[in-house]
Amino acid sequence: MLLEPQPTFASSLDALSGWRTALVQRLEDLTRFLGDHDLADAQTTAQLTALRERLGQEKLVVAFVAEFSRGKSELINAIFFADTGRRILPATPGRTTMCPVELAWDGDEAPSLALLPIDTRLNGLSLGELRHQPKAWKSVPIQVGDPEQLSQALGEVTRTLHVSKEQAAALGFWDDELGDENPPLDELGRVEVPAWRHALINYPHPLLKQGLVILDTPGLNAIGAEPELTLSLLPSAHATVFILGADTGVTKSDLAIWRDHLGGDALSRFVVLNKIDALIDPLATPEQLRYQIDSQCSETARTLGVEPQRVYPLSARQALAARIDGDAGALAESRLPALEAALGNQLMPQRRALLERVVLDATAHIENQVARRLGDSRRQLAEQTLELRGLRGKSSGKLQLMLQRVDAETTEFEACTTKLQAMRAVHSRMLKDALVGLSSDRLREEVGEMQAHMSASLLNLGAKKAFVALCQRLRSLLVAANKNSSEIREMLGASFTKLNAEFSFGLALNPGPDLGRFTDELNLIEKSYVQYLGLSQALRLSQPKFMEQFRRMLMSKLRVVFENASAELELWNKSASAQVDAQLRERRRGFRRRREALERIQAAASELETRLTELEVQDGRLQSFMGRCVELADAMRAQSRQGPRGEFGSFISIDLPLSDEPEPQLLRRAHA
Ligand SMILES: Nc1nc2c(ncn2[C@@H]2O[C@H](COP(=O)(O)OP(=O)(O)OP(=O)(O)O)[C@@H](O)[C@H]2O)c(=O)[nH]1
Ligand SMILES: [Mg+2]
């Protein structure tokens, strides 16, 4: 058992996951209460579901990126797999990991290694699409709890094939234009290419069970790097660990990878200067060694343009060995704990702050909605009470008059239905107009136009231009939808004011849907793709297969943005209509109740007091609902503000078990 003075990445992730689980419980309390008393409208229900999903399935993707042989796989072994007592991911000199390797856990599937054959590149399907086609993958079972078998099975990720130059070109690993950058040929004139396009390891590691996803990548500079990796997986990773070798320093190709794939967004980038053990020199003093490491770090920081404290010097190999031997002194010497602490201390609070914001916003919204709904009902009860109190000691003639008044009021109120119908007709027409621009047909047309421009331009030199133009057109579509949406809001606002004044409705508009968020997402996609189209790899777009793959990948990314924007717009509008329907129903029920009450009182005078007490009880119930709702919302808020912030000092870490059971209890938080 290994106790470390610093909190590890593992304990931080555990704390975050514990916080999420507790929040989900609070959320379930609130959801159940609202459901039991029919207090949630369509939008609130959708919001509760979305929040639950977000908290339950929140993934944290950490990508390890570097030129080949810098020690990515070794570092992953040291951080995540030391408890197996051996090297699990293959890590050897030279090119080792030949395809992107994703480690995650999906409890619905058995532990396994799924491998996507490289020739799937020829059919034009994107990785995202192939993820949903189990038949396309070769599945290798893995024995959890048998490190020997595990490491042997994972050895598959190093497999290569030897193919002809033509085949290599078709697969994207050879390009005559690139001359020297092409891989070397063997004595038979064949090119060595990876056997697999992507590998998924489904493994019940306690950290993976908590939503962590680890991405190990092959050296990115190699020709033939999977576009999906550079365009989709890396940009969406929550954190990237960029690894350099202390023995090599920052080489030209390291720098190219940093510039092309990792510049920007410094907060979630961690730079590792690995292999510091290689600097050990028997003729130098420990001070001299420390000085040498420090100056290498500042040199690296300067070259990459990052803060010196964001460069972590360490030895992955030494750390792995130290953990396997249970040697705390050697582990400290490897300096890995500092990186783990930084990952935990910086990444988790960031994720947590983001989730906290989402939870607080949703809670406020839900509370408002419930308060409005209960307020409406209570107002009606108060009116009825007032009316009935006025009846105390009144004659039956007076009662008759009151009955007539209820009937007259009912008729007067029913006049609103014509106005409501007119409003609904205008509303649905406007909504239809707003949604047309966000439809997938429209999106397909726009992407088709881009493709036509790209194909027309010589060698795809105009690819970037056509893509930028596409993004501009798509942005205009989002802007137009936003404008339509504001117009709908204005129209409904004016109608609601009128209806409230004429028919005593209590209609109020929610804040409009925020489509700006989707423009931000579009901008992000644009940024990562433009970067890609600027690279020499863009030349490959001239091959129809890759063009098709690019189009599909782009389409699937854009579709998510547009579908979500469209769904958000629809939901907002549905919720506005639902509010009108609910109030209409409630008002009608109110008239009916008033009439029934008067009739009963007419039949027996004692009914009046009974009815008044009933109304009081009803009002008391509604009031207690509100009180309970506030309590539950407060509990959500309190929970979301609790737990892991920047400080994880009160958690100690315990070595992680390899086997599936006993459950991650071994990871339980032990308060110091
Ligand atoms: N001396 C020393 N060697 C290391 C260290 N970390 C990794 N290595 C060695 O460097 C070689 C490459 O390590 P890998 O983990 O395979 O490197 P990688 O970045 O995954 O490389 P690819 O999979 O080829 O992209 C292996 O022989 C490792 O044992 C370290 O801290 N010190
Ligand atoms: Mg590797």
pLDDT tens by residue, 325-384? 999 999 999 999 999 888 878 777 777 888 888 899 889 988 988 898 888 889 888 988
Question: How many whole angstroms from 202 Cα to the centroid of ligand 2?
Answer: 18
More confident residue, 60 or 462: 60
Q: What is the DSSP string of 316-362?
A: HHHHHHHHHHT-HHHHHHHTHHHHHHHIIIIIHHHHHHHHHHHHHHH
Question: How many whole angstroms from 85 Cα to the centroid of ligand 1?
Answer: 18
Q: Are 55 and 20 in contact (CB under 8 A)?
A: yes
Quick one: which atom of ligand 1 is closest to the CA of 70?
19
Angle ∠(556,558,564) on CA atoms, nearest 5: 100
How confident is the model over 246-264, as pLDDT tens digits? 988 899 889 888 887 786 6
Q: State whether the beta carbon of 275 lies less than 6 angstroms from ligand 1.
A: yes
Residue nearest to atom 30 of ligand 1 (CA): 275
CA distance 244 to 391: 87
Question: How many whole angstroms from 192 Cα to the centroid of ligand 1?
Answer: 21
Question: How many whole angstroms from 1 Cα to the centroid of ligand 2?
Answer: 28
Question: How many whole angstroms from 71 Cα to the centroid of ligand 2?
Answer: 7
> Residue 460 has what pLDDT?
55
Using alpha carbons, list the distances in angstroms from residue 585 to 376, 494, 577, 614, 616.
12, 21, 12, 21, 22
> Residue 672 has what pLDDT?
26
Q: What is the dihedral of CA 646, 239, 267, 645, to 10 degrees?
A: -10
Q: Are 232 and 260 in contact (CB under 8 A)?
A: no
Residues 6 or more apart whose Cβ sits within 8 Å of residue 58: 20, 211, 351, 355
Among 1, 203, 74, smallest CA distance to 670 is for 1
> Residue 647 has what pLDDT?
38
Residue 665 has pLDDT above 70, yes or no: no
Q: Are 268 and 347 in contact (CB under 8 A)?
A: yes
> Residue 644 has what pLDDT?
56
Which phi and psi angles does 210 have, rounded to 5°? Answer: -90, 10
- Calculate the average pLDDT of the chain: 84
Using alpha carbons, list the distances in angstroms from residue 319 to 70, 86, 326, 334, 377.
15, 12, 10, 5, 65
Residue 435 has pLDDT above 80, yes or no: yes
> Residue 500 has what pLDDT?
93
Question: How many whole angstroms from 217 Cα to the centroid of ligand 2?
Answer: 7
> Residue 263 has what pLDDT?
66
Q: Are 491 and 573 in contact (CB under 8 A)?
A: no
Q: How distant is the alpha carbon of residue 8 from its chain centre?
A: 24
Does pTM surpass 0.85? no
Quick one: which atom of ligand 1 is closest to the CA of 243?
19
Question: How many whole angstroms from 257 Cα to the centroid of ligand 2?
Answer: 16
Using alpha carbons, list the distances in angstroms from residue 296 to 70, 85, 234, 645.
16, 32, 27, 32
More confident residue, 302 or 169: 302
358 residue type, one letter: V
CA distance 73 to 215: 10
How confident is the model over 637-659, as pLDDT tens digits? 998 888 655 433 322 232 333 33
How confident is the model over 188-241, as pLDDT tens digits? 989 999 999 999 999 988 778 878 899 998 876 666 677 778 777 887 788 899
Q: Which ligand is in closest contact with the Cα of 74?
A: 1
Residue nearest to atom 11 of ligand 1 (CA): 93
Q: State whether the beta carbon of 317 lies less than 6 angstroms from ligand 1.
A: yes
CA distance 474 to 437: 9
Q: Are 526 and 407 in contact (CB under 8 A)?
A: no
Angle ∠(71,77,81) on CA atoms, nearest 5: 175
Q: Which ligand is in closest contact with the Cα of 160?
A: 1
Which single residue is written with the structure tokens 């290569």? 160
Ligand 1 pocket test: which of 73, 217, 274 has the largest number of ligand atoms within 8 Å of its C-beta? 73
CA distance 22 to 375: 30
pLDDT band at 3; cut points 50, 70, 90 = very low
Q: How many CB atoms lie within 10 A of CB 350?
A: 15
pLDDT band at 137; cut points 50, 70, 90 = very high
Q: Which ligand is in closest contact with the Cα of 225?
A: 1
Return the bridge partners of 124, or none: none
Residue 9 has pLDDT above 80, yes or no: no
Residue 305 backbone zone (phi > 0: left; psi -120 to 50: alpha; other: beta): left
Using alpha carbons, list the distances in angstroms from residue 171 to 122, 131, 225.
7, 19, 11
How confident is the model over 265-295, as pLDDT tens digits? 656 889 999 999 999 888 889 899 999 999 9
Question: How many whole angstroms from 603 Cα to the centroid of ligand 2?
Answer: 88
Residues 6 or more apart whose Cβ sits within 8 Å of residue 169: 175, 176
Q: Are 158 and 168 in contact (CB under 8 A)?
A: no
Among 513, 515, 497, 516, smallest CA distance to 505 is for 497
Q: State whether the beta carbon of 628 lies less than 6 angstroms from ligand 1.
A: no
- Peptide bond preceding 662 in cis form (omega within 30 of 0): yes
Residue nearest to atom 25 of ligand 1 (CA): 68
> Residue 645 has what pLDDT?
52
Question: How many whole angstroms from 235 Cα to the centroid of ligand 1?
Answer: 24
Q: What is the DSSP string of 470-497?
A: HHHHHHHHHHHHHHHHHHHHHHHHHHHH
> Residue 670 has what pLDDT?
29
Quick one: which atom of ligand 1 is closest to the CA of 97?
23
Three-state secondary structure of 248-278: CECCHHHHHHHHHHHCCCHHHEEEEEECHHH
How confident is the model over 487-528, as pLDDT tens digits? 999 999 999 999 999 998 888 888 888 888 899 889 988 887
Among 3, 24, 206, 180, smallest CA distance to 104 is for 206
CA distance 244 to 313: 9
> Residue 491 has what pLDDT?
96
Question: How many whole angstroms from 658 Cα to the centroid of ligand 2?
Answer: 21
How confident is the model over 407-423, as pLDDT tens digits? 999 999 999 999 999 99
Q: Are 88 and 81 in contact (CB under 8 A)?
A: yes
Q: Which ligand is in closest contact with the Cα of 194?
A: 1
Question: How many whole angstroms from 75 Cα to the centroid of ligand 2?
Answer: 9
Ligand 1 pocket test: which of 65, 69, 99, 314 has the largest number of ligand atoms within 8 Å of its C-beta? 69
Q: State whether the beta carbon of 557 lies less than 6 angstroms from ligand 1.
A: no
Residues 6 or more apart whose Cβ sits within 8 Å of residue 358: 51, 54
> Residue 103 has what pLDDT?
93
Ligand 1 pocket test: which of 88, 89, 96, 276 has the largest number of ligand atoms within 8 Å of its C-beta? 96
More confident residue, 18 or 471: 471
Using alpha carbons, list the distances in angstroms from residue 439 to 433, 442, 446, 585.
11, 5, 11, 33
Residue 120 has pLDDT above 50, yes or no: yes
Instruction: Provide the residue count of the chain.
Output: 672
More confident residue, 541 or 242: 242
Q: State whether the beta carbon of 87 lies less than 6 angstroms from ligand 1.
A: no
Ligand 1 pocket test: which of 65, 67, 73, 74 has the largest number of ligand atoms within 8 Å of its C-beta? 74
Among 372, 577, 566, smallest CA distance to 480 is for 566
159 residue type, one letter: R
